[in-house]
Structure 1
Amino acid sequence: MQKTLTLTTLLLLSVGQIALAETAAKPDTSEWVCELCPFSDGLNGDVAAGPGYVSDDNPDFGNFGGLEEEGAFVALEGDLWYRGDDGRYFLAYGDRLGLDSRHLALEGGRQGGYRLALDWKEIPWIWSDDARTFYNGAGTSNQTLPAGWVTGNTSDMALLEPNLRDIRIGHQRETVKLGAELTRPSPWRSRVDFQHTRREGNFVKGASFLFTGTELVAPLDEETTLVEAAVGYVRESWQLEGAYQVSLFESNDNSVRWDNPFPSFNGGDRGELSLAPDNEFHQFVVSGSWRPSRAWNVAGQVAFGRATQDEAFLAPTLNDSLAVPALPVTSLDGQVDTRIANFRVNGHFSDRLRGRLVVRYDDRDNATDQNLYTAAVTDTFVAGPFANQPYSYERRSAEAALDYRVRRELILTASASREATDRDFQEVGETTTNGFSLGARANPDERLTVRAKIARESRSNDLDPALLNPFENPALRRYHFAEKDRDLFRLAADLAINERWTAGAFVELAEERYDDTMIGLSEADSQQFGLDLSARFGRAITASGFVARELLDAEILGADNIIGAPWRATTDDEFLTAGLALDFAELPGRWMNAGLRLTYASADGEIQIEKRGDAPPFPELQTRRYLLEADIERELGERLSLNLGYMLARAREDDFYRDGVGPTTLPNYISLGKVSPDRTVHVFRMMLRYRFQ
C-alpha cells in the first residue's frame, strides 16, 4: 500500500512539473493582435483613395486597364469584411473604382443559411485613337459620303483628305452578376444566378464593291443575358443537382449601310452588311457525384439544349439594277439541338496504383431547313443559287489514365485517348484521333523535383474532295480536318538550392505534320524554354525573376490561281517574356513596405514566300512592351498610411500591314490609317489607406 501511494505521488508530481514547464514555456498571448484571423468578428480590411495622373494618351496601355487618356484620375480601392458572432457576414471588394476598368464585388449572408452576391465589372478595349474616316455617321448603322463627293481612284478623290477626321475605335464592356443561394442545414440546396453583359462602342468592318474596298467603323451595341436556376440534394456519399440555363443575345443594330466612294459598277452605289443576329439558347443540366468508398469517386453530367435564331433576313441587295429572285423564306428559322453527356470515375486500385476514366459525348443536331438562295455578290453581280449548309456533328471520346508509385521518390503515369467525330455537309465526314502519353515524376533528392512527359497524337479522316465548296480548290486541306501527327516532349525541374534560393526550368518541344496536305498548313513546330528564380533575404526582402522563350515555325503550301504553279510560304515567330520583382516587407523608420516589378515582352515574325520568279521579302514584324511598376507605403498613424505608386509603360510595333498604309496609299482601297504604336506613358498615384481592425 505504501509503495502504491509513493508511485502515485511521484506520478502526480511529474505531471504537475510537466504542466508547470509547459505553462512557463508558452508565450503570453494576451497582448497579441490578429489582424487577418479568418474568424475575427467585427469590421476588418482597408480602403484607399487618392489622386493619380497619366502623362500621355496610350490606348495600348489603357486596354483592359482604363488608363488610356492623358490627365488626372481618381484611384479608389478597398477590401472589407465583416463577421458577426451569429454567423452573419459581409464581404466587399473594389478595385480601380475611379477608372473605366472598375470592379466591385459584394457578398453577404449567414453561414448555414443563405448567400447573396453582386459583382459589377467594366472593361475597356480600344483598337485605335488615331484612326481617320471620311464617312458622315461613322460608327452608326447609316454612313453617307460628304456632299459633292468626287469618285475615282483614291488619288482622284478631291474631297477625301479634306473630310478625314479622327475617330476613336473600341468599346466598353459592362457585366453585372447577381447570385442568391440557400444553404440551410438540410440536404436540399438551391441557387439562382443572373448575369447581364453589354458591349457598346464600335468596331472595324471591311466592305467592298467588286475590286474596291473600304474600312468601315461599324456600330456595336450588344446585350447578353445569362440566367441559371438550380436545385440540388446533398448527402454524405452522393449529391445530385438539376439546373436550367438560359442565354439571350440581342443586338440593337441589325445592319450597317454605306455609300460606295468608288465609281459604281453595274449600279452598286450603296451596300448593306448584316451584324450579329438576335438568338437564344436554353439548356437543362443534371449533374451529380457518388463516392461509394474512400478510394473511389464517380461523377457525371447530362445536358439537353436548344439554340434558336429567327432574325428577319435583310434584302439580298440595295442595288435596284440587279434582278435577284425573291428570298425563299423571310428568316432562317434556325434551330440547333445539343446533347451532352460526361462521365468520370477515378480512384485507387491499391496503395500504389491509381486510375482515371473519362467518357464524353457531344452531339450538335442542326435542324435548320435547307433552302436555295441567290446571292448578290458585293452588290454588283448575281450568283447561285446556293443551299445553306446546316452543319451538324457527333463527337465521342474516351480517356484512361494510370498513376503508379514505384517508390516514394518516383511516380509513373500513362494515358490513352480516342476521339471520333462524325460531321454533316463537310468534305470530311469522319475524323478519328488517337493519343497516348507517358510521364514520370521523380524526387531524387528532397530538394529536387523532376517531371517528364512524352505524348503522341494521330488523326485520320475519310476525306472526299468532291464535297468541297465549289469555290474551293479540291486540293485544299483545312488544318483542323487534315490528317495529322503530333509529337510532344516536356521536361521540367524545380530545385531548392538552399534555404534562400529556389529555381525552376522547363523545356517543351512539339512537332506537327500534315503529310497528305497539298494546299494548306503542312507542318508546324514549337519550342518553349523557361527559367525562374526566387530568393528570400531574411524576413524582409524577397526577389523573383523569370524568362521564357517560344519559337513557332510553320510551312504553308499553295498553288497559283492562274497556272497552278506551286508555291511555299514559311513563318518564323519568336516570343520572349521576362520579369523581375522585388518586395520589401520592412523598411527603416515609418516606411512599411515597398515593391518593384519590371516586365518585358517582345515578338518577332518573319514571312517568306518561294514562288515563280523573284518575290521581295516581307518586312519583319516586331512588337516590344515594357512595364515598370513601383510602390512604397509609409505609416502616418496607427491605422492610416500613405501609398505612393509609379508606372512606366512603353509600347512599340512595326507592322507592315498597317505602317505607311494611309487612307490614300492604295488606289482601290481606303483604310482607316491606323498607325502602329510607338508611345511611352508615365502614371503617378498617391493614396491614403485606412485600415479597419
Structure 2
Amino acid sequence: MFGIHKNIKTGQQFSVLALAISASISPAFADGYGLQNANRVKADTSKWECKRCTTEVGFKGTVGIGAAYNDATDIRFGNATGTDTDGAVGHLEADLINKSESGYETRFTANNLGYDAGSAAIETGRPGQYQIALGYRGLANYHSNSALSPYLNSGDNLTLPTNWQTGAVTSQMPTLLDDIREVELKTQRDRFLLDALYKGSFYQADVSYQHEKREGKRAFSGNILTNSAMLAEPIDDTTDELGAKIYFNGKGWLVGVDSSFSQYKNDHNSIVWQNAFSPTFGAAYAGQSAVSPDNKAYRIGANAQLSGNGHQVLMHLGVASFTQDEAFLPATINGPSPTLPTADLDGKVDTTDMKLKYSGRLLRGLSVRASYDYSDRDNKTAQSPYPQVITDSYYSGTAVNPEYDRTKQQAKLGAKYRFSRAVYLDAGYQYDHNDFSDLDRDSLKQNGVFAKFNYNISPSWSAWLKAEYKDRTGSRYKAIDATASLSNPYLRKSYLADRERQEYRLSVNYNPASAFSASANAYVSNDDYDDTLVGLTEVDTQGYDISANYLFSENFSVNAYLNQDWRDSDQAGSSNFSLPNWYANTDETSTLVGVGFDYLQLLDNKLDLGLDYSYSDGQSDTEITQGLTSPYGDYFAETHNINAFAKYQLGEKMALRFDWIFENYKDSDWLNQGLTVDSIPNVLTFGDLSHNYSAHYVGLTFSYEL
C-alpha cells in the first residue's frame, strides 16, 4: 500500500465551498420578499443620493517594529510564542491600505513576520470585481530539544562517530555517554499562496496555487531484529497544490465546477542508519527503511444549488485519482535481497463521492431536511506477493498487498417543528452503511436517532436538551489470515465491533440586554461494546463547561470560563490467545480554567490594558488486573499560562505596546520517566523527553500610523 500526503484535499470539502460561494454571490431566493422584486418603476430616485457618504482615498494604516526577549531553554515554549529563538528576536507588524478614487485597493498585512509562526499578505484589485493576493504563513510545532542521540544526520544517512564501538547491549557501548548530543525534534512549515479571483455579473472564477516547504526532525524507531534505536528522522519535503473553479448563478440557481491537482515530493529516498549494536544476525551492520514516497492527486467536482418557494436542493459529484510510482527499495540491505515482484508499486486509488441534500418548509412551523451521501474508494493497484523481511534481517515468506476498498453510504432525515416563538422540537434519523475489503468484517451498518427540545424561557433565558442513540452492527466477524501474526478469534477491534451509544446534552444560556451574560453546558455518554470479549468493552464520558462575561463599563470587561471532562474506559485482554485473563481500567480527566480582562482608554484615553490567565490539567490513570491490581505510573500534563499586554499612545500617530507571556509547564509519561539512553539493554533511547519549565517572553512593539 502507499500513503497520500495529508495536505491533499478530499472531495468532501467542496460541497461546503458551493454553499459559501452561493451565499456571497447569489441573490435572495425567496419569491416576493427580496429587493429584486420591489416595483421601482414609479419611484423618484433623485433624492436617493447619499449627501454625507464619502469614500476615503489615499494611503493609510499602521506599521510596527518589535523587539523581544524569548526564553527558549525548552523549545516547547515556542508553541506559545511562535519562535524557538533563545534570546533577542525581532518581528514586523503592518496593516496598510491604499485606495484610489476609481475603487482600486491594495492592502498589505503582516503579523509576527520574522518568527517561525509569522505571516504576511498583499492583496490588490477592485473589490467586488477582481483581486490578486500573494501570501506567506509560517507554521511550527516544537516537541523537544532534549532528545539524546549519538547519531549524526547526513542526507539520507544517520551515522555514528568514527570511533564508535558497538556492544551487545547499551551498557557495553564504551563511548556512548561521551558521544551523545542533544537533538531538536521540531517541524517548520513555510506556505506560499497565490490566488486570483474575478467576479462577473453572473459568474465567479478563482485560480489558486499553494507551495509548502516542510523541514525538521521527528522520532523514528530503527529496528534490527531484537535491537532498536530511537532516531531523529530528517524531514525535507514539499507539497504543491493548484486549484481552479468557476461558478455561474442566477435567480434561484447556482452551478459550478472546481478542480485541483496536488503533488508531494520528498527530498529523501530512504532512511539508512548504522547499527549501534553488535550484529546478532548475520552481518547486519546497518538498517534501511522507506520514507513517504512522492505522489500525486487529481480531482474534479461539480456542484449545483436550486432554491425557491422555501425549498432548496444541493447536489455534488466529484471524482479523484491518487497515484504513486516511486521505485522500490531492496527488501533488505543485509545479505541477498529476495526478489521483488515488480520494480515499483505503480499505485493508483480512485475515489468517487456524491451528495444530495434537500431542505424546505412544508407547513407553517414545520420544516424538513433529507440528505444522501455516497463515497467509494477503489484501489486499482496490482496485487502481488511481496517478500516480508522482519526488521531488515529475517525473511519470513511473502504476503499479498491488501486492497482496503471501501464504499460508504449515509442517509439522513430530519424535521423541525416550531410550536411557538419560544418552543421548537428538532428530531432526526441517520443510517450509515459501510462495505470493506481485507478487514475483519465485510460490512458495518449503524442506525441512529436524535431529538432536541429548545425552549426560550424568557427574552434573557434559553435552554435546550438533546438525546441521541446509535446502534452499530455488521456482518460476521472473521479475523483476517493474510498476515503471519493472526488475531485472537475472540478479539473485536473497536472501530469494527458492535456498539450501542447513548448521549445526552443540556445547554442553558443567559443573555439579557445588560452587562452580564453566561452559558452552561453539560453532557454524558456511554459506549457499550456488548459483543466484545477481548478488546475495548465500555467507555463512559461526562463533562461540563461554564463561561461568563461582565461588562462593567464601555471600556472595562471581565470574562471567565471553566471546563471539565472525565472518561472511563474498560478493556479486556488475553495473554494466551484465548478468553480474557486480564483487565484494564483507564480514568482520564481534564480541567481547563481561564479568566481575563480588558481595560481600555485609561489615562486620558492613552492606555489600554489586557490580561488572560489559563490553567489546564490532563491526566490518565491506568490499572491492570490479573489476579493482582497493578497501577501504571504518572501520565499527566499541567500548564499555567499568562498573556498580558499594555499599549500606550505616545502621540497622535505613535504607540508603544508591551507584551508578556509566561508559561509554567510540566508533564510526565511513565513510559520514559527517568529514562536514560542506556536504561534498556536492547534499546538505544532518546532519554527522558518530559518537560518541566517556567519561561518568559517580553516584547516591545513601536507602531506608527500613516
Could you say if the C-alpha distance between residues 138 and 163 of structure 1 is closer, same or farther in structure 2, counting changes exceeding 3 Å? farther
Which amino acid in 2 is paired with 1:421? N
In structure 2, the partner of 1:449 is 462
- C-alpha separation in 2, matches of 1:495 and 1:457: 31
In structure 2, the partner of 1:182 is 198
- Render the CA deviation track for 1:347-377: whole Å, top value 9, x for unaligned: 2123311121121010001111110112111
1:369 aligns with 2:385: no
Contact kept in structure 2, 1:649 and 1:680, CA below 8 Å = yes
Matches within 5 A, 1:516-665: 516-561=531-576, 566-589=581-604, 591-612=606-627, 614=628, 616-665=630-679
Could you say if the C-alpha distance between residues 405 and 373 of structure 1 is closer, same or farther in structure 2, counting changes exceeding 3 Å? same
Identify the range of structure 1 (103-112 vs 305-314) with the bigger mean alpha-carbon deviation.
103-112
Could you say if the C-alpha distance between residues 627 and 430 of structure 1 is closer, same or farther in structure 2, counting changes exceeding 3 Å? same
- Render the CA deviation track for 1:618-650: whole Å, top value 9, x for unaligned: 112121111111111122111211211211111
Residue 474 of structure 1: which of 484, 489, 504 is its match? 489
Which amino acid in 2 is paired with 1:513? D
- C-alpha separation in 2, matches of 1:65 and 1:121: 15
Identify the range of structure 1 (236-245 vs 362-371) with the bigger mean alpha-carbon deviation.
236-245
**How far did residue 554 of structure 1 move?**
0.8
Identify the range of structure 1 (169-178 vs 40-49) with the bigger mean alpha-carbon deviation.
40-49
1:162 aligns with 2:185: no
Which amino acid in 1 is paired with 2:662? L
- C-alpha separation in 2, matches of 1:469 and 1:555: 29
Task: Give structure 1 stretches of 5+ with no counterpart.
Answer: 1-28
- C-alpha separation in 2, matches of 1:391 and 1:170: 32
Contact kept in structure 1, 2:320 and 2:351, CA below 8 Å = yes
In structure 1, the partner of 2:36 is none
Contact kept in structure 2, 1:427 and 1:466, CA below 8 Å = yes
Contact kept in structure 2, 1:141 and 1:219, CA below 8 Å = no
Residue 241 of structure 1: which of 227, 231, 256 is its match? 256
- C-alpha separation in 2, matches of 1:477 and 1:562: 13
In structure 2, the partner of 1:202 is 217
Contact kept in structure 2, 1:58 and 1:680, CA below 8 Å = no
Q: SS at the partner of 1:658?
A: coil
Which amino acid in 1 is paired with 2:90? V
In percent, how many aligned pairs have the same letter? 25
Contact kept in structure 2, 1:549 and 1:576, CA below 8 Å = yes
**How far did residue 131 of structure 1 move?**
1.1
**How far did residue 264 of structure 1 move?**
1.5
Normalised to the residue count of structure 1, the TM-score between the two structures is 0.91
- Render the CA deviation track for 1:410-433: whole Å, top value 9, x for unaligned: 111001110101111111101001
**How far did residue 444 of structure 1 move?**
1.2
- C-alpha separation in 1, matches of 2:165 and 2:154: 16
Q: SS at the partner of 1:158?
A: coil
Contact kept in structure 1, 2:471 and 2:501, CA below 8 Å = yes
**How far did residue 299 of structure 1 move?**
1.2
1:349 aligns with 2:362: yes
Q: SS at the partner of 2:631?
A: coil
- Render the CA deviation track for 1:268-308: whole Å, top value 9, x for unaligned: 22210100011111011111211133x11111110011111
1:432 aligns with 2:445: yes
Which amino acid in 1 is paired with 2:465? A
Contact kept in structure 2, 1:419 and 1:434, CA below 8 Å = yes
Matches within 5 A, 1:77-156: 77-137=93-153, 140-144=156-160, 146-156=162-172
Q: SS at the partner of 2:601?
A: coil
Task: Give structure 2 stretches of 5+ with no counterpart.
Answer: 1-50
Could you say if the C-alpha distance between residues 156 and 615 of structure 1 is closer, same or farther in structure 2, counting changes exceeding 3 Å? farther
Which amino acid in 2 is paired with 1:689? S
Contact kept in structure 2, 1:134 and 1:146, CA below 8 Å = no
Q: SS at the partner of 1:589?
A: helix
1:66 aligns with 2:79: no
**How far did residue 564 of structure 1 move?**
6.3
**How far did residue 145 of structure 1 move?**
5.3
1:690 aligns with 2:701: no
Contact kept in structure 1, 2:400 and 2:482, CA below 8 Å = no
Which amino acid in 2 is paired with 1:90? T
Q: SS at the partner of 1:192?
A: strand
- C-alpha separation in 1, matches of 2:165 and 2:579: 42
**How far did residue 530 of structure 1 move?**
0.7
- C-alpha separation in 2, matches of 1:683 and 1:334: 49
Q: SS at the partner of 1:202?
A: strand
- C-alpha separation in 1, matches of 2:351 and 2:157: 34
Normalised to the residue count of structure 2, the TM-score between the two structures is 0.89
- C-alpha separation in 2, matches of 1:525 and 1:97: 45
In structure 2, the partner of 1:416 is 429
Contact kept in structure 2, 1:290 and 1:297, CA below 8 Å = yes
- C-alpha separation in 2, matches of 1:548 and 1:468: 45
1:215 aligns with 2:220: no
In structure 2, the partner of 1:24 is none
- C-alpha separation in 1, matches of 2:544 and 2:110: 37
**How far did residue 498 of structure 1 move?**
6.9
- C-alpha separation in 2, matches of 1:647 and 1:340: 46
1:227 aligns with 2:209: no
- C-alpha separation in 2, matches of 1:213 and 1:623: 28
Which amino acid in 2 is paired with 1:63? N
Residue 394 of structure 2: which of 381, 384, 387 is its match? 381
Residue 266 of structure 1: which of 272, 275, 281 is its match? 281
In structure 1, the partner of 2:41 is none
Q: SS at the partner of 1:585?
A: strand
- C-alpha separation in 2, matches of 1:255 and 1:561: 38
Contact kept in structure 2, 1:58 and 1:69, CA below 8 Å = no
Q: SS at the partner of 1:266?
A: coil
Q: How many residues in Structure 1 have an aligned counterpart in Structure 2?
A: 653
Could you say if the C-alpha distance between residues 157 and 138 of structure 1 is closer, same or farther in structure 2, counting changes exceeding 3 Å? farther
Q: CA RMSD in A?
A: 2.0
Which amino acid in 2 is paired with 1:625? T
- Render the CA deviation track for 1:524-552: whole Å, top value 9, x for unaligned: 11111111111011212011000000111
- C-alpha separation in 1, matches of 2:422 and 2:605: 48
Name which one, 1 or 2, has greater alpha-carbon Rg: 1
1:675 aligns with 2:675: no
**How far did residue 80 of structure 1 move?**
2.6
- C-alpha separation in 2, matches of 1:115 and 1:607: 56
- C-alpha separation in 1, matches of 2:494 and 2:577: 24
Contact kept in structure 2, 1:138 and 1:218, CA below 8 Å = no
Which amino acid in 2 is paired with 1:380? S
1:506 aligns with 2:521: yes
Could you say if the C-alpha distance between residues 203 and 466 of structure 1 is closer, same or farther in structure 2, counting changes exceeding 3 Å? closer
- C-alpha separation in 2, matches of 1:402 and 1:105: 44
- C-alpha separation in 2, matches of 1:417 and 1:617: 41
Q: SS at the partner of 2:329?
A: coil
**How far did residue 255 of structure 1 move?**
0.7
In structure 1, the partner of 2:7 is none
Q: SS at the partner of 1:503?
A: strand
Identify the range of structure 1 (45-54 vs 154-163) with the bigger mean alpha-carbon deviation.
45-54
**How far did residue 438 of structure 1 move?**
0.2
Identify the range of structure 1 (411-420 vs 651-660) with the bigger mean alpha-carbon deviation.
651-660
Could you say if the C-alpha distance between residues 522 and 199 of structure 1 is closer, same or farther in structure 2, counting changes exceeding 3 Å? same
In structure 1, the partner of 2:331 is 316
**How far did residue 341 of structure 1 move?**
0.5
Which amino acid in 2 is paired with 1:676? S
Could you say if the C-alpha distance between residues 241 and 141 of structure 1 is closer, same or farther in structure 2, counting changes exceeding 3 Å? farther
**How far did residue 167 of structure 1 move?**
1.4
Which amino acid in 2 is paired with 1:358? S
- C-alpha separation in 2, matches of 1:479 and 1:127: 30
